[in-house]
Amino acid sequence: MAAVSPSLQASFNASSSKLCFVRLDRFNRRSFHCKKKSDSCSWIIKSVINNKSINGDEAIEPARILLERLFVQTQKLEEKINKNSNPPQDIELEHYLGKLESDLQTALTVLRKKEEDLEAAENKISLEYRDLNNAKNELNKREENISDAFLRQEKLENELNLANLDLASRATEIEDLKLQIEKRDHEVMLARSMLELKEDEIKVMVDELRVKSEESANFELEIMEKSRVLIETNEILKKQEVEIEELKETIREKNEELEISTMLLESENEKLKVVEENLEKQTMDWLVANEEMTELPSTVEYFDDLTRVRMLLSDVRSELVSSRESLILSRKKMEDQQAVLEHEILELEEHRKSLSDYTRSVKDAETEVEKERVMFRLAEGRNQEFQRDLLIEKELIDELQNQLNSEKDSLRKANEEILEIKDELNRRNLEFSEIQNRLESKEAELVDAKIEIQSLKSERVCLEVMLNEKESELSDAREILDEVNREIMNLKMLLGRKIETGIDYSEAKNVMERIFELTNKVDDSIVKPESKWEKKRVETELDVIRGTLRLREFEVLRSRREIMIKEDKVKSVLEKLDERENEMAEMKWELSQDVDELRRLYAMAQERIGERTMGELAIEKMELEAAEIEIEAAVSALEKIMEMSRELLRATSVIVDADSDVDVSMGIERCGFEDPGFEELRMEAARLSDFTEKLVREAGIGKDLAVVDK
C-alpha cells in the first residue's frame, strides 16, 4: 500500500498539472465569442461522452460500476464493522483490505484510463477550441461580410432612393413634356383654327376686294359713261342753244313777215273795200242806166246808143264779172293767206310753246347736268375714298398675309418643336424604361441582399443562441469536469491518506456518492440532437418566410414608387390647376375688356348709324359678326377650360381615391374636394357667357343689320 501511494501521487500530480494547464488555456480562451453552424459543437461533447473507452464497451468495466462496487463493498465492510463491535481478526481485515486494495487498484487503473480519456477529451476540446477560434474568425469574417452587406444595402438603398427620385423627376419631366405637348397641340389647334379663321377672313376680304374692285371698275365705267353722256349733253345743249337762237331768229323774221302780211292784208282789205264800193257804185250806175234804157224810146240812135251802152254794159258787166271773180279770187287768196297766217300763227304758238317747253327742258337738263356734275364730283370723291379703302384693305390683306405667313412659319416651327419634344419624350421614355429596368434589377438585388442579410441575421441569431447554449453546456461540462477532477484529486489524496492511516469508509462513501452524482450530471447534460424532419420543417419555414419577405419588399418598393409618382402627379395637377386659375383670371379680364370694347363699339355704332353708308354698315356687320365669332370662340375656350378643369378634378379625385390609405393623398383629397374655387370659376364663366349673350341681344345688332339689309 505504501509502495503504491507514491506512484499514484506522482500520476495524480502530473495529471493535475496537465488539467490545470488545460483549464488555464480554457479560461484564457473563454473571452472569445465563437459561432458556428447548428451541428458544429454538439458532436465534440458527444464524441467525448460516447467514447467507447469511457462508456466501457471494452473488457474493462466502467468507472461508475467499479465505484458502485467499491461503494457496495465499503458499505458491506462498514456494516460488518458496525455489526462486529469487537475489532475483527487480522485475517479477515487483511482479506477485506486486500480485496479493497485490488478493487482500488482496478479503480486506479480505470481512473488512469479515465485520466487518459480526459486528456484525450482535453486535447479534443483544445482542437474544438481551435475550431471554435477558426469558427470565430469565420464569424468575424461573416460579420465583416454582413457589415459590408449592410454598407452595400445602405448604398443600394441610397442608390435606390436616388434612382426613385430620379425616376420621379423623370416621370414628372415626362408628365411635364406630355403636358407641354398637349399644350402645344392645343396651341397648334388654336393657331390652326385661328389661321383657318384668318384664311377665311382673308378669302372673304379678297372676295370683297374683288367685288369692290369690280364695283369700282363698273363705277368707273359708269362715271366714264356719264362723263361721255355729259359731254354729249353739253354738245347737244350747245347745238340746241344754237338752234334756239336760229329758231328765235326765224320766229322774229316770221313775226316781221306776219306783221308785213297783216299790213298787206289790211291794205288789200282796204282795196277790196274800195273795189267793193266802186262795184257797188257801178252796179248802181248800171241799174240806173238799165232803168234809163227801159225808159228811153227805141230809136236808132237810141238803139245805137243802146247798143253802145249795151256793149259798154257788157264790157262793164264783164269787167264787173272779172272784178268780181278777181275779188272772189282775192278774197279766197286773202282767206287762204289768212288761213295760212292763222296756221302759221298756230304753228308759231306751237313752236313758241315747244320752244318754251324746250327751254324749260333745257333748263331742267341743265339742272340735271348740274346734279350729274355734283353726283359726278361726289362719285369721284367716293371713288377716291373707295380707292383709299381698297388700298388700305390691300395693305391690310398684305399685312394679314404676312402675319399669316409668319404664323405659318411659327406653326411650322411649333410642329418642329413638337416633333423634337416628341423625340425627346420618346428618348426620355426609353431612358425611363431603362432606368426603371435598372431600378427593378437594383430593387431585386436589394431585396435579395435584404433577404440574404435577414437570413444571415437569423442564422447569426440562431448560431449565437446555439453557441450560447453550447457555451453554457461547455461551461457546465467544464465545471462538471473540474468538479470531477477535484473529486478525483480529493479521492487520490484520500486514498493516499487512507492507505497510510486506514480508510474512512464513510468519507469514501460520500466521495463515491458525489462522483456518482457528477457522472449522472454529465450524462444528463448531454443534449439530444434535433431530428431531421424538424430541421427540414424549419428550413421550409425559413424559405417560405424568405419568399414572403421578398414579395413584401417588392410590394413595399413598388408602393413607394407609385406613391412618389402619384405625389408628383398630384403636385403637377395642383400646379396645372393654379395655371388654369391664372388663365381663367386672365380670360376673365380679357372678356371684361372685350365686353367694354363691344359696348364702346355699340355706342359708336348707335352714334354713327345715321351717317353710315350701306358699305360701311356691311363692314360694321362683318366686324360685329367677327366680334360675335371671337366671343363665341372665347366662350368655347372657357367651356373647354372648364371641361379640362373638370377632367383635372376627376383625375385628382381618381388619384386621391387610389391613394386613400396615404395621409398625403388624403390631404390632397380634402383640398381637391373642399376647394370652392372651381365651382366659383365655373359660375363666373357661365355668368360671363350669359353676360356676353345678353350684351349682344341688347346691342340689337341683328335687328339693325336686318333693317340695313331691307
pLDDT digits (tens, 9 = 90+) for 650-691: 554 444 444 444 444 444 344 443 445 555 555 655 665 565
Considering the domain architecture, whether residues 560 and 485 belong to the same structural domain is answered as no
Are the CB atoms for 118 and 480 separated by under 8 Å?
no
Looking up cell 371713288 gives 383
Task: Count up the domains in the chain and report the number.
Answer: 3
Mean pLDDT for the stretch of residues 578-597: 67
pLDDT exceeds 50 at position 16 = no
Model confidence, pTM? 0.33
Domain assignment of residue 246, yes or no: yes
Considering the domain architecture, whether residues 500 and 591 belong to the same structural domain is answered as no
Domain assignment of residue 627, yes or no: yes
Domain assignment of residue 448, yes or no: no
**What letter represents residue 175's amino acid?**
E
Considering the domain architecture, whether residues 321 and 336 belong to the same structural domain is answered as yes
For residue 289, give the nearest of 278, 305, 300 by alpha carbon: 305
Q: Alpha carbon of 82 to those of 88, 98, 157: distances in Å? A: 11, 20, 84
Mean pLDDT for the stretch of residues 622-639: 62
Q: Mind listing the pLDDT tens digit for each residue in 146-169?
A: 777 777 777 777 777 777 777 777
Those residues whose C-beta lies under 8 Å from the C-beta of residue 272, and which sit 6 or more positions away, are 327, 330, 331, 334
| Listed residues 390, 422, 452: the one ending a domain | 390
- Percent of the chain at pLDDT exceeding 90: 0
**449 vs 689: CA distance, rounded Å:** 63
Q: What is the pLDDT of residue 25?
A: 44
pLDDT tier for residue 641 given thresholds of 50, 70 and 90: low
Least confident of 295-309, 414-428, 492-506, 568-582: 492-506
**688 vs 591: CA distance, rounded Å:** 8
Least confident of 24-38, 281-295, 304-318: 24-38
Q: What is the pLDDT of residue 631?
A: 63
Q: What is the pLDDT of residue 46?
A: 37
Q: Which residue has the higher pLDDT, 45 or 601?
A: 601
Q: Is 256 exposed, middle or buried, given 0-12, 13-18 or 19+ CB atoms closer than 10 A?
A: exposed
Angle at 77 between CA 74 and CA 83, to 5 degrees: 140
**222 vs 231: CA distance, rounded Å:** 14
Mean pLDDT for the stretch of residues 9-26: 42
Q: Count CB atoms within 10 A of the CB of residue 405.
A: 10
For residue 624, give the nearest of 699, 547, 523, 675 by alpha carbon: 699
Considering the domain architecture, whether residues 543 and 526 belong to the same structural domain is answered as no
Those residues whose C-beta lies under 8 Å from the C-beta of residue 678, and which sit 6 or more positions away, are 577, 645, 649
Backbone dihedral region of 502: left (phi > 0), alpha (psi from -120 to 50 degrees) or beta? Answer: left
Q: What is the pLDDT of residue 168?
A: 72
Q: What is the pLDDT of residue 666?
A: 41
| Listed residues 535, 554, 575: the one ending a domain | 535
Q: Alpha carbon of 194 to those of 191, 210, 354, 584, 626: distances in Å? A: 5, 23, 70, 20, 12
C-alpha cell at 625: 359678326
Q: What is the pLDDT of residue 65?
A: 64
Q: What is the pLDDT of residue 628?
A: 63
Are the CB atoms for 114 and 61 separated by under 8 Å?
no
DSSP one-letter string for 523-586: HHTPPPPPPHHHHHHHHHHHHHHHHHHHHHHHHHHHHHHHHHHHHHHHHHHHHHHHHHHHHHHH
Q: What is the pLDDT of residue 5?
A: 41
> Which range of residues forms the domain containing residue 668?
536-710
**What letter represents residue 637's amino acid?**
A
Domain assignment of residue 241, yes or no: yes
| Listed residues 329, 355, 390: the one ending a domain | 390
Considering the domain architecture, whether residues 569 and 694 belong to the same structural domain is answered as yes
Angle between helices 614-658 and 663-674 (to 10 degrees): 150
Radius of gyration of the chain (CA): 77
Q: Which residue has the higher pLDDT, 103 or 509?
A: 103
Those residues whose C-beta lies under 8 Å from the C-beta of residue 526, and which sit 6 or more positions away, are 45, 46, 49
Are the CB atoms for 565 and 435 separated by under 8 Å?
no
Backbone dihedral region of 662: left (phi > 0), alpha (psi from -120 to 50 degrees) or beta? Answer: beta
Are the CB atoms for 16 and 499 separated by under 8 Å?
no
pLDDT tier for residue 482 given thresholds of 50, 70 and 90: confident
Considering the domain architecture, whether residues 377 and 236 belong to the same structural domain is answered as yes
Domain assignment of residue 466, yes or no: no
- Percent of the chain at pLDDT exceeding 70: 46
Considering the domain architecture, whether residues 524 and 664 belong to the same structural domain is answered as no
Looking up cell 431585396 gives 447
Instruction: Please name the residue ranges forming H helices in 609-658.
Output: 614-658
Considering the domain architecture, whether residues 33 and 109 belong to the same structural domain is answered as yes
**What letter represents residue 120's amino acid?**
A
Domain assignment of residue 77, yes or no: yes
pLDDT exceeds 50 at position 61 = no
Least confident of 3-12, 380-389, 632-641: 3-12
Mean pLDDT for the stretch of residues 468-494: 68
pLDDT tier for residue 521 given thresholds of 50, 70 and 90: low
Least confident of 21-35, 118-132, 436-450, 588-602: 21-35
Mean pLDDT for the stretch of residues 346-367: 74
Least confident of 300-309, 500-509, 620-629: 500-509
C-alpha cell at 249: 331768229
For residue 404, give the nearest of 190, 623, 197 by alpha carbon: 197
Domain assignment of residue 209, yes or no: no
Considering the domain architecture, whether residues 43 and 78 belong to the same structural domain is answered as yes
Are the CB atoms for 431 and 170 separated by under 8 Å?
yes
Are the CB atoms for 95 and 77 separated by under 8 Å?
no
pLDDT tier for residue 636 given thresholds of 50, 70 and 90: low
Are the CB atoms for 265 and 333 separated by under 8 Å?
no
Considering the domain architecture, whether residues 506 and 551 belong to the same structural domain is answered as no
Q: What is the pLDDT of residue 574?
A: 67
Considering the domain architecture, whether residues 140 and 14 belong to the same structural domain is answered as yes
Cα-Cα-Cα-Cα torsion 654, 659, 665, 666, nearest 10 degrees, comes to 90
Domain assignment of residue 261, yes or no: yes
Element (H, E) at 84: none
Considering the domain architecture, whether residues 526 and 553 belong to the same structural domain is answered as no
Backbone dihedral region of 246: left (phi > 0), alpha (psi from -120 to 50 degrees) or beta? Answer: alpha
Those residues whose C-beta lies under 8 Å from the C-beta of residue 438, and which sit 6 or more positions away, are 163
For residue 23, give the nearest of 483, 467, 472 by alpha carbon: 483
Mean pLDDT of the chain: 65
Mean pLDDT for the stretch of residues 553-576: 70
